[in-house]
Amino acid sequence: MPDENQKLKVGIPKETFPNELRTSIIPENISQYAKTGFRVLIESGTGKAAGFTDKQYKDKDAEIVDSRDELFKQADLILQVRGYGTNPDEGKKDLERFRKGQVVVGFFDPLGSPEKVRELAKTGVTAFSIELLPRITRAQSMDALSSMATIGGYKAVLLAAKSLTKMFPMLMTAAGTIAPAHVFVIGAGVAGLQAIATAKRLGGVVKGYDIRPAVKEQVESLGAKFVELELKTEEAETKGGYAKEMDEEFYQKQREMMKSVLKESDVVITTAAVPGKKAPVLITDEMVEGMPRGSVIVDLAAEQGGNCSLTKAGEEIEHKGVTIIGPVNLPASIPQHASQMYARNLLAFAKNMVKDGKIDLEQDDEIIRESMITKDGEVVNQRVLELLGEKSKSEDERSEG
């Protein structure tokens, strides 16, 4: 048995971003970290907003630390929900707490905030951005983007149901038949598919659309009708499985073809986002004005600028009788299950990097290589370096050779 003081220490700081209620570890995970070779340090109050008390963590043999400074000082590995980049103001205060060689994992928005990655690199930490995980089978258990998108898609339908002037299901009543609500989901990724499934469970008549024809079968398997538009979509997806930005001519054609579907929709849920880019505008002012009065748009891309031209992030507005909701940080609105899912993702990620009780940052591992953004005082991720207009050391060495 290794000495307890010799074990790796994983530190879980309290989230400091406004209204961020999630946490990156739940009590039931602690024994699994212990089996992997970790001692678990929890900043006091870390799980409170998600429904987990300090006592619950302590009962599972975690150590409760009152001082944030002390937690950062002791931890070999820091697990966060929002790292610097997704928490630019309060997160900046943690930069001085990091130390060279420390490992930190979380959401960092490296493609949207590359300059923040450069600042983070100066601390000397080895940082992993969970957004950059490769879309490969072995990384599925670590895919926090998909976990959080699942919650976002589910909650989007509930927001729509709350604001809609109709009920979702068809009902046979003594007062006559109530017609079902018509729901149109734009984007059939994880969030879109969950929105489709939730809307169907509530009894809506659901249609789904995606620029990737390959998802037609998935949409139809959930009981929805797939809307097919005659557009060339061969280049709509990157090799890594993420959405690719298309040109304005493509989006203009897409908008024209979508008008007729919107005119028949009571609820529209949009989910189209491109990593590190402004969300494409899929619904114009004119298209909104053509929708039925009392209808609702829930724009899940609000934080990236919105798929609807009228969306205001964090607000619910009305335009010509149509309600447009621009939710932000939806996963935090269901913090207990969001924390449970995210904590499991990070546990799988941590297990992958620990071998024989030590953190092994083997570069031949695609998961580690693709998600690492900083190491030894440098930005090391190729995609981030390109956004910063810099070259990697390996490229410089090749050019010199």
- Which amino acid is present at 165? T
- Amino acid letter, 208: G
User: Radius of gyration over alpha carbons of the chain, in Å?
Assistant: 23
**Cβ-based neighbours of 174, under 8 Å, separated by 6 or more:** none
- Can you say whether residue 283 is alpha, beta or left, with left for phi > 0 and alpha for psi between -120 and 50 degrees? beta
Q: Two tokens at 237?
A: 């997806």
> Could you give phi then psi for residue 121, rounded to 5 degrees?
-60, -35
Give the separation between CA 88 and CA 265, rounded to whole angstroms.
38
| 330's tokens | 């939806």
Active site residues: 135, 140, 143, 146, 242
**Looking at this protein, which amino acid is placed at residue 374?**
T
Q: How many CB atoms lie within 10 A of CB 65?
A: 21
Nearest to 347 by CA among 23, 21, 2: 23
Q: Are 343 and 336 in contact (CB under 8 A)?
A: no
Which helix (H) or strand (E) segment is 138 a member of?
Answer: none
